[in-house]
Structure 1
């Protein structure tokens, strides 16, 4: 059976099969619902069911607490319809501008930039190109049918696609990257995916919040803003446990030198005496709050560990007057994150 889905306030409509998630049907129809992880962990796709009935596939309760579900909220990435639906959701302009493609690629280079971070660059087939927006990601398709998602760390049309991969010991893909992967290996991926990119219709000052390799999509965005000679004020707060986690610190300092509208604030939470760290310390999102107690006129783009992204949204909205709709996020969810209740 096929149901009719209507999105308000746009009025856009699309069909959805009874065994299909609302998000999958929207993507197939080119309707730009926001999303991130696609597996019920990040809450980027959360909206409200105004009429009709859905059930949810397994998801994390922190992404959709029971009390929110009782009020009609839904995670569209794991919501399956049981009737025609009317949804309330913010659509993302431009999210379907570029086709999602499945492509082979060859590992061009592997560079270890930190003890647990490798930068991979990919070579695409001759005469092939991947059109995407800075901030989006690709999914590697592994042999057993599993997938692993990584944000592109290069601005579009700015050289080979690069990815920042952190080693997760025991990880199906990252163990391979750090042990047996070599140049010229073939990897298949699908992309571009995700709605984590700059809302160009705004001229508000931008706050970029990154933890660890959450820096990757923000790097692509900053490169794109720099190439476009954007004059929007930009502040990057990059957090790590130790200084070595800020593996492209020199590049960020160069941006701050080259762009008068760009400010860089590195933050380290667990520096050791031998690190000789004299900069900002503590939780990275709290450094933002100390500098910007009033964010009512800002946009925030946050990427990194779910606990960092969730804490930032909660505190920025509750304590710093950030409008809820001006917080855009891409939470990096690992298999360990997905295994949590």
Structure 2
């Protein structure tokens, strides 16, 4: 017997089967709810259970705290219903219009951009084209059925291969393969597009883009999309890394700033090498935003990268610098290790 789920803000309803994650049921029925990792690690799918009861399954403690649980909040990607529900959660327009597919692809190119960053290009079959929103990601389906997620780094309007930026995680099954044994013309399989991290074009607010490491990938897609669409809202990109060589497409970001007056670029290093001769900003990248813009009440923020950066930015921006909670959009690059503290 299926349960009815009502979304408080819109009144929209959908059904969820027993033992089916609430998020899975919503997406299956074309209901756009916010999500990222889909495995309880990032917290993007958080909502409040207004009425009814759920079972909250294992998740990262950083994605949903005990205090949030006592206030009735839940992670919809790993929560199941045990009766009819009413949920208060931000809905996402547009994602239901994009078809999610499972597709084979061929490795078109492997380009090492830093010691631990590989630019991977994927060629789709000749009769296929992937429609997606700039900022979304794909999930590789590995031979054992496990999945690995990577954001598309090129904008949807661009012809040619799909571009991904992959950081090497020591001991990581997939990234070890990418860096050590993968070859051009290898066949891979993925599902996508996925995720609700994309530019909200119905706003006229200035945009803060916040990236750490390869979190630059979906930010790059968003910037290229905005420039192609002639969106003239002011955009400032803050890109953080440890050392200068970790800003693996520094020249590209600097070129955007030269060519487009509405775009500004602020690189930030946390541990610059002596050889970098770095004269730019240092410290935590989200702190650089606060130093420049202590009042964020009239901004939209798009943050992508390491979970600690995303969590710190969301907490500090919304709690101490007046950013409205519903103007913070994020894609936290969680890994298998981030689920180690599942509760």
Question: Does TM, scored on the shorter chain, surpass 0.5?
Answer: yes
CA RMSD of aligned residues (A): 0.7
Query: What is residue 177 of structure 1 aligned with on the other side?
Result: 178
Q: Which residue does the alignment assign to 2:214?
A: 213
Is the partner of 1:317 in helix, strand or coil?
helix
Q: Using the alignment, how far apart are the partners of 2:218 and 2:53 within structure 1?
A: 36
Residues 179-215 of structure 1, C-alpha deviations (whole Å, 9 max, x = no match): 0000000010000000000111101000000000000
Q: Distance in 2 between matches of 1:281 and 1:264?
A: 14
Residue by residue, what CA displacement relative to the aligned partner does 1:283-337 show, whole Å, maximum 9, x if unpaired?
0000000000111000000000000000001111122111111000000001111
SS at match of 2:99: coil
Report the CA distance between 1:217 and its aligned residue. Answer: 0.2
Q: CA deviation at 1:150?
A: 0.1
Cα distance between partner residues in 1 of 2:298 and 2:182: 46
Give the equivalent residue in structure 2 for 1:306.
Answer: 307
2:45 corresponds in structure 1 to: 45
Q: Tell me the alpha carbon deviations over residues 53-79 of structure 1, each in whole angstroms, 9 at most, x when there is no partner.
A: 001111011211112111111110001
Secondary structure of 1:325's aligned partner: helix
1:296 corresponds to 2:328: no
Aligned equivalents of 2:339, 2:74: Cα separation in 1: 18
Deviations 1:229-276 (A, max 9, x none): 111000000000000110000000000011100000000000121221
1:318 corresponds to? 319
- Written as runs of structure 1 = structure 2, the 5 A alignment for 1:132-281 is 132-159=132-159, 160-281=161-282
Give the structure 2 partner of residue 25 of structure 1.
Answer: 25
Runs of 4+ in 1 over 4 A off after TM superposition: none
Deviates more, 1:2-11 or 1:291-300: 2-11
Judge conservation of contact 2:60–2:338 (CA < 8 Å) in 1: no
Cα distance in structure 1, aligned partners of 2:334 and 2:67: 23
Ranges in structure 1 where 5+ consecutive residues have no aligned partner: none
Alignment of 1:113 onto 2:82: no
Distance 1:7 1:195 in 2: 17
Counterpart residue number, 1:97:
97
Mark the runs of 5 or more structure 2 residues left unpaired by the alignment. none
| Whole-angstrom distance in 2 between the partners of 1:224 and 1:340 | 37
For the residue of structure 2 that corresponds to 1:173, the secondary structure is: helix
Cα distance in structure 2, aligned partners of 1:16 and 1:304: 32
Whole-angstrom CA distance in 2 between matches of 1:330 and 1:184 = 30
Offset of residue 157 of structure 1: 2.5
Q: Is the 2:61–2:341 Cα contact (8 Å) retained in structure 1? A: no
Counterpart contact for 2:241–2:268, Cα < 8 Å: yes
How far, CA to CA, are the matches of 2:70 and 2:315 in structure 1? 20
- Report the 3-state secondary structure (helix = DSSP H, G, I; strand = E; otherwise coil) of the residue aligned with 1:252: helix
In structure 2, C-alpha distance between the alignment counterparts of 1:311 and 1:213, rounded to whole Å: 18
Residue of structure 1 in register with 2:57 after alignment: 57
Please give the alpha-carbon distance, in whole angstroms, between the structure 1 residues aligned to 2:110 and 2:314: 34
TM superposition shift of 1:340: 2.6
- The secondary structure found in structure 2 opposite 1:77 is helix
**Equivalent residue for 1:68?**
68
- 2:283 corresponding residue in structure 1: 282
Aligned to 1:86: 86
